[in-house]
Structure 1
Amino acid sequence: MPNDLMLRARISPKGHLDLLSRQEVTALLQVNSGPLARIFRNCSLAVLNHDEYQIDDDQALLERYPDYEVQVIQDERGIKLELRNAPAAAFVDGELIRGINEHLFSVLRDLVYIDSGTARQFDLKSSDGITNAVFRILRNARVLKAGLEPRLVVCWGGHSISCEEYDYSKEVGYQLGLRDMDICTGCGAGAMKGPMKGAAVAHAKQRNSCGQYLGITEPGIIASESPNPIVADLVIMPDIEKRLESFVRLGHAIIVFPGGAGTMEETLYILGVLLDPANARIPLPLVLTGPASAQDHFALMDRFLTETLGPKVKNLYRIIIDDPEEVARYVVKGVREVRDYRRATEDAFYFNWHLRIPLDLQLPFAPTHENMRTLRLTKDRPVNELAGDLRRAFSGIVSGNVKASGLKAIAEQGPFELQGDISIMKPMDELLAAFVAKQRMKLPSANKQYTPCYKLVGA
C-alpha cells in the first residue's frame, strides 16, 4: 500500500448537488450499492488521482490504491462524500482541492442522472431519442450556454505525446484564448490539457473571466485518463458514442493534434458524419495541426484517410503545420461561418440540432473479438459507412489498450482480428506501426514494451 494516503475525509458539495430534494438524496444514496458502486469508486479514484501519477491503465491505478473507499452519506443539509485511503496529493493541509471536489460531485451527478434517465426518460433505440438523451445530460450538467455567440473549440489529441507537441498544443490554445475562444477536450493529459492551459493564460491577459474549459469523458475512459486540473466543467457521458456526439453537437470548430488510436477514432467519427450527404452544407471547420516534428505524422494520417476514404475527404479538413496563429485565425473565420449559418437556419448556437448523425454511429459498439472480426472494412459501400466501421476498429484498439474490459478480453482470447480489403489493411498497418514506433498507443513504461492488442488479416 502506498504511504501517500489521506486516511479519512468527509467532504461537502461545492457548486454541484448542494441543493437537493429528499427524492434526489434517496437516489444518490443508492450509489453505495448495486452496479453504480464499482463505477463510482473507479471514476472517483481517477478524479482524486488527477495528474499526480500518469497511468493510462485503470487496473494499475486500482492496484495502487486497493483499500480506497467512497460512500455517499446523508446529513441534515443534503449529502456528503466520505473518503477513506484516498490519494493524499488531492488534499492541501487536510482540505480537498476545490477543483477536485467539483469533479467528484460532477461524476456523482452524471452517473446517477444517467442511471435514472436510462430507465425512465431516455429512448435509446432511435436516433432522435439518443440525441435528446445527449442534450438532456449536457443540460443537467449546466454546460449549455444559451445566449452566447459561437466560440467553443473542440480539441482532440493524444495523452501520450512529446513535450514539443504538448507545448505546441498549449500555444494554439493561447492563440485561441487571445481571440476569446473557449476550449472543450476529452479532459485528460497531453493534447487535452495543453490547449486549456494556454487558453487560461490568454483569457487572463484579456481579462476574460467567463472562459469555458469543458471536459467530456465516459466511465471506461476516465479511469484511465484522469481529468486534468484546468477542466472547470466535467461531464460524464454514458458511453463513447454519446461522448463523441456531445463533442460534435457542442463544438463550433474542431482541432486535431497529434495522437494515437483514440485520436484516430475521433477523427474518423467526425469525418463519417461530415461525409454523410445530408450534412454536405453544414459548416464545421476541422483542422489537423502540430509542430514541425509532427509533419510526417500528419502526412501519414492524410495518406491513410485519402487511401481508405477517397481523395474527396481532403476537402473536409485542413492541415496546418507549425503555425499556431494561422490555426487560430482559420478557426475564428470558420466559427464566424458557423454563426452565420446557424442564424440563417435558426439553429441554436449552443447545440447543433441540424447535424445528422445516423443511428449506426450512435448505438454503442461493444469491441468483442466477434464484433471486431466482423467489421466490414471494404470499399464496396458508402464512404461514410466505411468511416463508421473504421472508427469502430480504432475504438476496439483503444479498448484493448487501456479499458478494463478490453484488457481482460485480450488477456483471455489474444489480440483482436481485423480483416478487410488489402487497400485498407495496408495503410492501416502502416499507420498503426507508426503509432507503436512513436509510443502513441500508451504512455511509455520503463517496465513494459507495448504489445499490440490487434492483428490485421490481409495486411
Structure 2
Amino acid sequence: MNKAEELVDARITPAGRLDVLSKYEVNKLLDKSQGGLYNVFRNCCLAVLNCGNHMDDGKELLERYESFEIRVVQQQRGIKLAVNKAPASAFVDGKIIRGINEHLFAVLRDVVYISDEITDNPHYDINTSDGVTNAVFHILRNANILRPMTNPRLVVCWGGHSISRQEYDYSKEVGYQLGLRGLDICTGCGPGAMKGPMKGATIGHAKQRIAMGQYLGITEPGIIAAESPNPIVNDLVIMPDIEKRLEAFVRTGHAIVVFPGGVGTAEEILFILGLLLHPDNNDLPYPVILTGPKDSADYFKGIDAFIGATLGSSAQQRYQIIIDDPVLVAREAVAGIEKVKQFRKDLSDAYYFNWVLKIEHEFQRPFTPTHDNMRNLELHKNQEVHLLAAHLRRAFSGIVSGNVKDEGIRSIEEHGLFEIRGEKSITDALDGLLASFVAQQRMKLPTKEYKPCYRIIK
C-alpha cells in the first residue's frame, strides 16, 4: 500500500432503513474460524469500499488492506457497521458515499440470508437442478430486485474489465441507445464493459425522464475483490458462487449483449450457449448479441471461430455479431425481447424470472479449479455438445481464478501452472484463442505484464 494513502475509521448507519440482526447472526458474522462467515463478509465489504480504484488482482487488494477490519455493532434502534482502516476513497469529508453505504448493507443482507436461509436450510437441496434454481430465486427475491407487474426490459451486458478506451466508449453508446428505448441494464457490476452500458443508460433514461431505471449488478465473493462494484449500480446482489451468479443472469435477463472481454467473457458466452444448445431449449427465444467497435472485429472473429471449431455451427446460430452499430444493437435487443415476451405470455411464464429455461445440474454444480480438476476436464467431442460447452466453461473459469482470484493466484504460486488437456482439435482452438487474448492484453489490466496461469498439454 502507498504510504501516503489515507485510511479511515468510521461507524456507518444503514442508508434509509435500520437493519436488525439477532445475536446469533452477529456472532456468525464475527466468526473468524475456518469456515466462519467473517472472512467472506470482510472481503466483500473491502471490495465495495474499494469502488473506483483500478485493481484487478484479488490477492493484491487483500494484501494492500491487510489491516482492514469490520464488525457489526448492535444498538437499541438497529445496527451499525464499524470499519477500521478502510480506503479513504469511499468517504467524502468524513462521510461515506451513499451508494457505497447501500452496497455495504447489500453485502450484509446477502451474506446473512445465504448462510441462514440457503446453506443451512434442509429445504434447499442444492444437489438437484430444481433445488439450485429455487435457491437462486429466493436470494434474488430477498434482495428485492425481481420486478413483477412490469414488461420484460432487462438487458444483461457482459464484457471485460480490461478493455480499451474505444471499447469502453462504445459500450456506453450501446447502453445509451438501450436506455433511450426504456431498457434496464444488468452487468457483473465491475468496471470496463460492466460500467459502460450502465453509464450510457443513465443518460438515455434521463432524456426519456425514466426515474426508476434499474442498474443491477450481480457478483460473488470470489470475483468481487477483482471487480469492485461500480458506483452506478443501484441494485447489488452477492450470489454464493460463480455458477449461481451465471444462473441469476440468465433467469432475470431478457436479452444478452456481449462486449469485448477476455476469459471471463468467454466463460459467460459458453454458459449461455451450453444452455441454449440443450434440446429442451431449442425453441426458446433468447437474443444474444456480440458487439464492439470496428477495432474489435478480430476479437469476435476469434470467438466465433473458436465456437465453430469446438461446438459447431448449431452454436454459432444462437447469436448474432454486430460490429460498430449501437443503434442496430438496441433495435435487435428490443425485437428479441418482444419475442421473449410473447413466448412467456403463451406459456404463462413469469416475465421477471425465466422458469421455463432448462438448466442441467452440470451447469449448476460449483466447479473448484484445483490442479486435479483442471487436468481432468473432459475436453472431447465424444459427448453431447451442450455438455462439452459446460466443460469448456470450466476451463475458462479456472483461468479466471488463476488470473485474478485470491485463492486461484495462491494455488498457482504454490503448485505451479494449471495443466489443460483434451482432444487436439479442441486444445488447438483453445490455445489459439488464449494466445490472442494475451496479444490483445485482455487477460489483466494492460499496465501489467501477463504471466500465464496455465499451459496447454497437446
TM-score normalised according to structure 1 size: 0.97
Counterpart in 2 of 1:68?
68
Counterpart in 1 of 2:252?
250
Displacement of 1:26 after TM fit?
Answer: 4.0
Counterpart in 2 of 1:131?
133
Counterpart in 2 of 1:272?
274
Q: How does 1:113-192 map to 2 (within 5 A)?
A: 113-117=113-117, 118-120=119-121, 121-192=123-194
Q: How does 1:321-336 map to 2 (within 5 A)?
A: 321-336=323-338
Cα distance between partner residues in 2 of 1:56 and 1:381 = 36
Cα distance between partner residues in 1 of 2:100 and 2:288 = 32
Structure 1 243/15 Cα, relative in aligned 2: closer, same or farther at 3 Å? Answer: farther
Cα distance between partner residues in 2 of 1:323 and 1:234 = 30
Displacement of 1:413 after TM fit?
Answer: 1.2
Displacement of 1:100 after TM fit?
Answer: 0.1
Q: How does 1:191-202 map to 2 (within 5 A)?
A: 191-202=193-204
Displacement of 1:134 after TM fit?
Answer: 0.1
User: Could you say what secondary structure the match of 1:316 adopts?
Assistant: coil
CA contact (8 A) 2:401 2:408 kept: yes
Counterpart in 1 of 2:25?
27
Cα distance between partner residues in 2 of 1:151 and 1:28 = 38
Cα distance between partner residues in 1 of 2:265 and 2:206 = 29
Cα distance between partner residues in 1 of 2:235 and 2:54 = 21
Cα distance between partner residues in 1 of 2:133 and 2:91 = 38
Displacement of 1:29 after TM fit?
Answer: 4.6
- 1:54 partner amino acid: H
Cα distance between partner residues in 2 of 1:272 and 1:355 = 12
Cα distance between partner residues in 2 of 1:100 and 1:169 = 24
Counterpart in 2 of 1:96?
96
Cα distance between partner residues in 1 of 2:320 and 2:10 = 49
TM-score normalised according to structure 2 size: 0.97
User: Could you say what secondary structure the match of 2:38 adopts?
Assistant: helix
Displacement of 1:456 after TM fit?
Answer: 0.7
CA contact (8 A) 1:216 1:236 kept: yes
Structure 1 28/213 Cα, relative in aligned 2: closer, same or farther at 3 Å? Answer: farther
CA contact (8 A) 1:269 1:391 kept: yes
Displacement of 1:122 after TM fit?
Answer: 2.2
Counterpart in 2 of 1:347?
349
Q: How does 1:107-118 map to 2 (within 5 A)?
A: 107-117=107-117, 118=119
Displacement of 1:312 after TM fit?
Answer: 1.7
Cα distance between partner residues in 1 of 2:66 and 2:302 = 42
Counterpart in 2 of 1:396?
398
Residue-by-residue CA offset, 1:90-143 (whole Å, 9 max, x unaligned): 111111000000000001110111111210242211110100000000000000
User: Could you say what secondary structure the match of 2:369 adopts?
Assistant: coil
Displacement of 1:33 after TM fit?
Answer: 1.8
Residue-by-residue CA offset, 1:163-209 (whole Å, 9 max, x unaligned): 00000000000000000000000000000000000000110110000
Displacement of 1:60 after TM fit?
Answer: 1.1
- 1:452 partner amino acid: P
CA contact (8 A) 2:59 2:409 kept: no
Counterpart in 1 of 2:39?
38
CA contact (8 A) 1:253 1:286 kept: yes
Displacement of 1:433 after TM fit?
Answer: 0.3
List alignment gaps of at least 5 residues for structure 1: none
Counterpart in 1 of 2:83?
83
User: Could you say what secondary structure the match of 2:419 adopts?
Assistant: strand
CA contact (8 A) 1:417 1:455 kept: yes
Cα distance between partner residues in 2 of 1:425 and 1:260 = 17
CA contact (8 A) 2:159 2:193 kept: yes
Cα distance between partner residues in 1 of 2:280 and 2:16 = 40
Displacement of 1:36 after TM fit?
Answer: 1.2
CA contact (8 A) 1:4 1:89 kept: no
Cα RMSD (Å) of the superposition? 1.1
Displacement of 1:8 after TM fit?
Answer: 1.6
Counterpart in 1 of 2:359?
357
Counterpart in 2 of 1:317?
319
Cα distance between partner residues in 2 of 1:368 and 1:37 = 24
Displacement of 1:42 after TM fit?
Answer: 1.1
- 2:310 partner amino acid: T
CA contact (8 A) 1:29 1:74 kept: no
- 2:10 partner amino acid: A
More off after superposition, 422-431 vs 255-264: 422-431
Counterpart in 2 of 1:8?
9
Cα distance between partner residues in 2 of 1:333 and 1:381 = 34
User: Could you say what secondary structure the match of 2:11 adopts?
Assistant: strand
Displacement of 1:38 after TM fit?
Answer: 1.2
Residue-by-residue CA offset, 1:237-279 (whole Å, 9 max, x unaligned): 0000000000000000001100000000000000000000000
Cα distance between partner residues in 2 of 1:146 and 1:15 = 23
User: Could you say what secondary structure the match of 1:113 adopts?
Assistant: helix
List alignment gaps of at least 5 residues for structure 2: none
Indicate whether 1:284 and 2:286 are aligned.
Answer: yes
Displacement of 1:444 after TM fit?
Answer: 2.2
Displacement of 1:48 after TM fit?
Answer: 0.6
- 1:147 partner amino acid: M
Cα distance between partner residues in 1 of 2:182 and 2:93 = 36
- 1:74 partner amino acid: Q
Counterpart in 1 of 2:410?
408
Counterpart in 1 of 2:106?
106
CA contact (8 A) 1:169 1:191 kept: yes
